[in-house]
Chains A and B, each alone.
Chain A
Amino acid sequence: MTVQGPRVARPPDVRAAASPAASGAPVLDVRNLSVSFATPAGPVTPVRDISFTVAPGQRVGLVGESGSGKSLTALALMRLIHPPGRVTGQVFLGGTDLARLDGRELAKVRGGQVAMVYQDPMSALNPVQTIGHQIVEAIQIHADLGARDARDRAASLLADVGLQDPLRRMRSYPHEFSGGMRQRVMIAMAMSANPALLIADEPTTALDVTTQALVLDTLSRLVAERGTAVILITHDLGVAAGFCDDIQVMYAGRIVERAPASRLFRAPVHPYAEALLQSICDLDADITTELPVIPGQPPLPSALPSGCAFHPRCLYALDVCRTTEPAPFAVGTGGAMAECHRTDERIAGVVIAPVVGPGVR
């Protein structure tokens, strides 16, 4: 299988806390997290009871289609879901339950211990403030620095993310920057307080492919140097493959498979993960070949299928899949798992004849 996408060069020392074993106390411990919204037609739950941990320095990919609940998960981690949205479950950050913090304490955690990089840096930067003003402000929120020190710090951060002549650049406005430069600024701002965890929500989606690789390289180098754990949210398997230690595949608000990146690409267990990998287009293929697709549509959170949410699109669905929601089945040791009734057969490599043919809705 060939994976197209930016390859990210990684310094050799970054595998220290790599998968699958999480060393020491986790930076992030998510237990039974759900996000639901009250609607006139009753509650809708786009994120359903997910649990996972992130170890210091670990890079976890959160992969899935649009609407699978990736970004909502990120917002819930930051406690940024507002009514009518409702979050249940617990989020421990460095051992602290975020739900117990009041507004002031929460503000300290946000940007301090956990920072975020967004998909569209143009809209995440204030258009009427200079880059310098914004990054200095981000620094001063979390560090008690005078104007001069904060400015020096800002300049060195911008130099760290690869901006030439940072002092001059700090006087520019966001619209004077290219997309890649803006995203570098966002990364610099996010890293300004040396957070233990960085949540990157589709950080390269708005960039063109060559810039993607460069920005990812920068991000990769920075988090490696500082031992920052990363949750990378993406729908791009290539990006996830190059960047992450472990990958969690989300479908319909559940994490349906968790695996070390290398193993997931070699031998996916969950049929959805397999289908996702198969739908990466092979650039060497004959152009007359039809692009592989996963038949059917991802379900709406308001109308989830019975049993396993993936069963209507699954090639291997059995009767049990239609009636019973699968529990997580461990795959090997080290926390890898898949939520599939046929996990054992899949691991064993038993060839499973498709119960329904492809293309059937």
Chain B
Amino acid sequence: MAGTRDLEVAGPGAVALPGVMRRLLRRRAAAIVLVLLGLLILSAIAAPLLTSYSPTALAPRDRFLPPSPAHPFGTDELGRDLLTRVLFGGRIALGIGAASTVIAMLVGTAWGFIAAMRQGWTDEILMRLADATMAIPTILFALVLVAAFGASTVNLAIIIGLLLAPVTARLARSAALDELKSEYVLAAVASGATRTRILLSEVLPNTLPSLLVLATLNAASAILTEASLSFVGLGVQPPEASWGTLLFQGYQKLYQTIWYAIFPGVVIFMTIWLLNLLADQLQSVLDPRERESSRA
């Protein structure tokens, strides 16, 4: 029989997501956002193929050139092609953004789910810990941690990820608490499901939409936090450069050339804006009421 082989008996979550991309692409605004974000990510990945310049080779004679066909974004104080610098900077900025988002989602979701499931003292301790972390401004906290542990790319990703985890934990906990009150969780308990199974099979798939939206917002905060840290010199260290570093260097040379600061700034702004737009679009696509009507 035809249906037997391709029948999905998939792991938790696998069922909820495949339709999301399709539904997003069906909306024009969402499709545009996705394409632009896709281009941004692709350009970072394919940076060496997109430019003939090296991001680090110096050309002192070409300092502070304005945009031209040879250098679309102009050049910096050492004659490096700014477009190349921005493309390679994107690798670091987006890489740290993605890594810390994954860390934030994994740690935060586990944190929130355990609090929701165990309740009582465990819940109190875990959530007060989250509150305490959230009470300190992220940038300030990040500065302290970076100063203490050093500013390597890996450290940055871990620190930013962990700092975003408490917010994720809060959302994961409240979403999980809602699910745990539902009748299908009661039905699952009554059919003999264990706690782990209930979390993975009932709670996680149902909270995935909210978590997905939060992940997008987290990615935006992560990129912004990294840029801010790099701007104040505690992020990515030279000769590597992320968007934040470029912005800071451009800001210092504002009297020599205006382009240096504009391009990294615009790219950061566009990325954050696109991610926030994506979160918006995801939110409305994942809204179960709209989903029902678009399926019917």
In the complex the two chains form, is B15's CB within 8 Å of A78's CB?
Answer: no
In the complex the two chains form, is B192's CB within 8 Å of A141's CB?
Answer: yes
Nearest opposing residue in chain B for A138, CB measure? B191
In the complex the two chains form, is B201's CB within 8 Å of A168's CB?
Answer: no
In the complex the two chains form, is B15's CB within 8 Å of A110's CB?
Answer: no
| A133 on the B face (CB < 8 A) | yes
Partner of A123, one of B15, B16, B184, B205: B184
In the complex the two chains form, is A115's CB within 8 Å of B4's CB?
Answer: no
Partner of A137, one of B4, B8, B201: B201
In the complex the two chains form, is B194's CB within 8 Å of A107's CB?
Answer: yes
In the complex the two chains form, is A133's CB within 8 Å of B10's CB?
Answer: yes
**Docked CA distance A335–B170 (Å):** 55
Contacts of B189 in A (CB 8 A): 80, 110
| A147 on the B face (CB < 8 A) | yes
**Docked CA distance A175–B294 (Å):** 13
In the complex the two chains form, is A132's CB within 8 Å of B182's CB?
Answer: no
Q: Which of A123-140 contact B (CB under 8 A)?
A: 123-130, 132-133, 136-138
| A236 on the B face (CB < 8 A) | no
**Docked CA distance A39–B145 (Å):** 48
In the complex the two chains form, is A116's CB within 8 Å of B10's CB?
Answer: no
Contacts of B197 in A (CB 8 A): 137, 141
- B197–chain A nearest beta-carbon distance, Å: 7
Nearest opposing residue in chain B for A109, CB measure? B192
Contacts of B295 in A (CB 8 A): 175-176
Partner of A133, one of B15, B187, B208: B15
In the complex the two chains form, is A132's CB within 8 Å of B9's CB?
Answer: yes
**A111 and B192 in contact (CB under 8 A), knowing A80-B186, A126-B205, A129-B205?**
yes
Contacts of A314 in B (CB 8 A): none
Number of residue pairs A-B, CB distance < 8 angstroms: 93
In the complex the two chains form, is A124's CB within 8 Å of B15's CB?
Answer: no
**Docked CA distance A110–B7 (Å):** 28
| B57 on the A face (CB < 8 A) | no
Partner of A107, one of B3, B15, B193: B193
**A150 and B183 in contact (CB under 8 A), knowing A80-B190, A128-B205, A189-B191?**
no
In the complex the two chains form, is A127's CB within 8 Å of B7's CB?
Answer: no
Interface residues of B, count at CB 8 A:
30
Contacts of B49 in A (CB 8 A): none
Nearest opposing residue in chain B for A126, CB measure? B184
- A94–chain B nearest beta-carbon distance, Å: 15
| B206 on the A face (CB < 8 A) | yes
**Docked CA distance A110–B191 (Å):** 5
Contacts of A78 in B (CB 8 A): 190
| A272 on the B face (CB < 8 A) | no
- A346–chain B nearest beta-carbon distance, Å: 38
**Docked CA distance A120–B187 (Å):** 11
**Docked CA distance A300–B2 (Å):** 57
**Docked CA distance A123–B181 (Å):** 11
In the complex the two chains form, is A127's CB within 8 Å of B288's CB?
Answer: yes
Contacts of B15 in A (CB 8 A): 128-130, 133
Partner of A132, one of B7, B202, B208: B7
**Docked CA distance A138–B7 (Å):** 17
- A33–chain B nearest beta-carbon distance, Å: 17
**Docked CA distance A160–B192 (Å):** 22
Contacts of B205 in A (CB 8 A): 126, 128-129
| B290 on the A face (CB < 8 A) | no
| A338 on the B face (CB < 8 A) | no
Nearest opposing residue in chain B for A170, CB measure? B7
In the complex the two chains form, is B190's CB within 8 Å of A110's CB?
Answer: yes
- B177–chain A nearest beta-carbon distance, Å: 14
| A151 on the B face (CB < 8 A) | yes
**Docked CA distance A210–B183 (Å):** 26
- A228–chain B nearest beta-carbon distance, Å: 15
In the complex the two chains form, is A136's CB within 8 Å of B9's CB?
Answer: yes
In the complex the two chains form, is B7's CB within 8 Å of A171's CB?
Answer: yes
| A251 on the B face (CB < 8 A) | no
Please indicate which of the listed interface residues B9, B15, B191, B208 has the most CB atoms of chain A within 10 Å of its own CB. B191
What are 26 A-B residue pairs whose CB atoms fall within 8 Å in the complex? A78-B190, A80-B189, A107-B194, A109-B192, A110-B189, A110-B190, A110-B192, A111-B192, A116-B187, A116-B190, A124-B187, A126-B184, A126-B202, A127-B184, A127-B288, A128-B16, A132-B7, A133-B10, A137-B197, A138-B191, A141-B192, A150-B9, A167-B3, A168-B3, A175-B292, A189-B191
Assuming A125-B184, A151-B9, A190-B191, what are 14 further A-B pairs, CB within 8 angstroms? A78-B190, A80-B190, A104-B194, A111-B193, A118-B187, A128-B15, A128-B205, A128-B206, A130-B8, A130-B15, A133-B8, A137-B197, A167-B3, A176-B295
- By Cβ-Cβ distance, the 6 closest A-B pairs, closest first, are A111-B191, A111-B192, A123-B183, A167-B3, A110-B192, A124-B187
